[in-house]
Structure 1
């Protein structure tokens, strides 16, 4: 049967349900056999969100039996015609695939209901993307009801649908009986502290959900406390994104307390939450005890040099963290050095990547990084550096290369200046000799090189250090 032909079998809905769901509109629904089926990018058919207006069943048992004789495309088209939703061609094209990406399609409650009807018994789709579709509470209910029979979808994206507390309550009730969804993205839904409690209660002891994205919401102190309790008792979540919330002070401390005892979390994203010294100290204490976290994202907070020192108290004893992101914090070169020294001195450290790309480091940092890389595994550090620092760092290599071209060593150069064989040369004599030899160093590079040789600023270079 051509999926675009009119069929006498329709989704079974009562006349009362049809009247409740159909909204007056000048826009006609294309007939099932129309070849002009196009995607509609505006929210389809707005439904009321009250409990009284929502029918609890997507269709009756009779409708289910008849539906089994139709193709998936036919079921979807019949559902759209019956409830007054505009068919989306992308749905028709991808019903037999594993990924169904409908982000930004503006389905609205009615469009979501038609989709839910066809997905009730779909066993192909494993990843469903529904970001920014104006689902509202009614659309969310239809989806959650669909999950009572659908057992194939494992990844669900409902971000940016303004679901708020009512939506959080609906999703949380679904999670209590969830055995299949492993990845759940709920970013940007105006969830507040009460919504955080809904999720925390539903996910305590949960072992199915592995990835949870709650970023770009409105969790504050109370929400952080609820999420911290969830972390302390959850046995499944491996990736948790809480970025772009308002988790600080008691809320942040509670999350860190949960992290202390959590035994499954591997990635924790806490960027742009306003973490400062108190929160960094709590994180440091958590890192002392946590033995599973491999990625910690703290970008865009208020972590300064003092705060990173408190964080390093935990890094000094941690042996699992591999990736640490700290860019766009008020760190300076001092904090960067503290961080690098901590990683270098921790012989059990597993850190492989550090992101401090917004921090301008000095020559000492770069030299310490090279030394760290030589003595241990490769360490990838993203940082910023001023051009003059790069020029200074090249001074020693320029000096060595010049001498090599003359078949001399650094030791030979100093010996020629040390007439009394004291193994010492004044910085004045060294400066004068470099200029007379016309070694291609500018004045800034020369002064940096002198400072490297005379680290204690005694105006004397003890060149025995080059004897090895």
Structure 2
């Protein structure tokens, strides 16, 4: 059985630390066939190492995916990744820990421009640095197939994320993006804030552990006052204070069209006053759940221990009204099916008046219902009887 390693050990890009010339006209570069004539003269400043140009559009769009990738590898001088070649026609491709580096990523980016089959791509832990962020940004500006992209743990830093954001502004297909552990700080957060103001397709964004402070979060918060697509925002392990967290939840309150469902600020210590304000925000947006760290940790645990199991509450209601628990859950879903989006389920549970239940109990209920990929499943209710 083939393993996921490249055909040969790949060489790290020796020019990673050299800043490349910036150009607003940078596009993707790859010829479908190796040139057999004298190359055209190029200005001294121009180099195929700094951008990805398409010189022959017709050849580019008629060349097979495998051939295009192999030609791209030849162009940038890297060994092709055998796993990528074998899985180019699959919807999910996992290239984490492949040591791609900037040049290897450039070849992948070229191949992805015209690839509509790959929907989910994991490029985490590949030592990208900023240069690969530029290549991927150019790819995202053109690609219309990719829906999920994991770029975590890649040292993109400020320049890489800013370049990536340039492509994200015009992207119309990407829904899920993981940028955790990339150390881009407040400047990167500001660039992402601009993306959230313009992009109406992203629904999931992980910015955990990127040294974002209240200043950077304020840029994101202002964008969320207008954004109508984002549902999940993870900010875990960023040096954010309660004041920053307050800006964040108030931005959701100010946006009547916000679709935000889950915010993770679980390392941020908040006060009872914050919780009261959040209760007011959740009254306006019942689909919203915010995970935070409470100052009153011990009292919170005590309160949790006294809560009634939400499943037992629902079972009691069902028994009193001579219906099944499944019937109760189906009554919450307009379609009557046994699966439901998390946000819609949370909203329906908070708004229903048959069973007294708070949002913390709803959170536990969602866990019991086996939330996966943004959906809750009622189909295994027999396992919940207790």
Query: TM-score by structure 2 length?
Result: 0.67
Alignment of 1:419-438 (within 5 A): none
Map Cα deviations across residues 136-159 of structure 1 (whole Å, 9 max, x no partner): 221111111122332111111111
Quick check: which has more Rg, 1 or 2?
1
Once the two structures are TM-superposed, the CA of residue 47 in structure 1 deviates from its matched residue by: 3.0
Partner of 1:213: 206
What corresponds to 2:43 in structure 1?
A: none
**1:343-392: CA deviations, max 9, x gaps?**
x998364633439xxxxxxxxxxxxxxxxxxxxx99x8xxxxxxxxxxxx
Unaligned runs of 5+ in 2: 30-52, 314-352, 366-380
Looking at structure 1, the residues matched to 28 and 18 of structure 2 have their Cα atoms a distance apart, in angstroms, of: 16
Deviation of 1:44 (Å): 4.8
Aligned to 1:347: 356
Structure 1 partner of 2:179: 186
For 1:74 and 1:213, how far apart are their aligned partners in 2? Answer: 34
**Equivalent residue, structure 1, for 2:341:** none
Distance 1:41 1:274 in 2: 44
Which shifted more, 163-172 or 105-114? 163-172
Q: Deviations over 1:429-457 (max 9, x none)?
A: xxxxxxxxxxxxxxxxxxxxxxxxxxxxx
Q: Residues 92 and 119 of structure 2 are in contact (CA less than 8 Å); yes or no, is this contact kept in structure 1?
A: yes
Cα separation, 2, equivalents of 1:206 and 1:68: 26
Superposition pairs of residues 326-345 of structure 1, within 5 angstroms: 329-331=297-299, 334-336=302-304
What are the superposed Cα offsets for residues 117-166 of structure 1, whole Å, 9 maximum, x if unpaired?
11111121111111111222211111111223321111111111121221
Asked if the contact 1:49/1:138 (under 8 Å) is kept, the reply is no
1:135 aligns with 128
Aligned 8 A contact 2:139 2:167 in 1: no
8 Å contact from structure 2 (residues 165, 192) kept in 1: yes
Distance (Å, rounded) in 2 between the aligned partners of 1:212 and 1:291: 20
Q: Distance in 2 between matches of 1:76 and 1:229?
A: 40
Q: 1:341 to 1:113 in 2, by over 3 A?
A: closer
Which of 233, 250, 269 matches 2:226?
233
Tell me the distance in 2 between the aligned counterparts of 1:341 and 1:84.
60
Q: Which residue of 2 aligns with 1:201?
A: 194
Post-superposition shift, 1:171? 2.2
- The answer for the alignment partner of 1:303 in structure 2 is 295
The whole-number CA distance in structure 1 between the counterparts of 2:199 and 2:113 is 24
Equivalence map 1:48-127=2 (5 Å)? 48-52=17-21, 56-59=26-29, 60-68=53-61, 70-127=63-120
Alpha-carbon distance change, 333 to 68 in structure 1, aligned in 2, over 3 angstroms? closer
Following superposition, the deviation at residue 296 of structure 1 comes to 3.2
Offset of residue 264 of structure 1: 0.6
Partner of residue 344, structure 2: none
Q: C-alpha deviations, 1:202-230, integer Å up to 9, x for none?
A: 21254211111111221222122222222
Contact kept in structure 2, 1:116 and 1:142, CA below 8 Å: yes
Task: Say if 1:195 and 1:70 are closer, same or farther in 2 by CA, change over 3 A.
Answer: closer
- Residue in structure 1 matched with residue 321 of structure 2 by the alignment: none
Name 1:275's counterpart in structure 2: 270
Gaps of 5+ in 1: 1-35, 305-328, 356-376, 381-468
Q: Tell me the alpha carbon deviations over residues 53-83 of structure 1, each in whole angstroms, 9 at most, x when there is no partner.
A: 7892332544443344543222222221232
**Higher relative contact order structure (alpha carbons within 8 Å, sequence separation ≥ 6):** 2
CA–CA distance in structure 2, aligned partners of residues 239 and 333 of structure 1: 26
What are the residue-to-residue correspondences of 1:146-165 with 2, within 5 Å? Answer: 146-165=139-158
Q: 1:188 to 1:278 in 2, by over 3 A?
A: farther
**How many Å separate the matches in 1 of 2:294 and 2:75?**
54
Cα root mean square deviation, aligned: 3.3
- Matches of 2:362 and 2:55, distance apart in 1: 59
SS of equivalent residue, structure 1 residue 52: coil
| Residues 88-137 of structure 1 deviation map (CA, whole Å, 9 limit, x = unaligned) | 11111111111111111111110011111111111211111111112222
Shift of 1:290: 2.4
User: What is the CA–CA distance in structure 2 between the aligned matches of 1:260 and 1:132, rounded to whole Å?
Assistant: 36
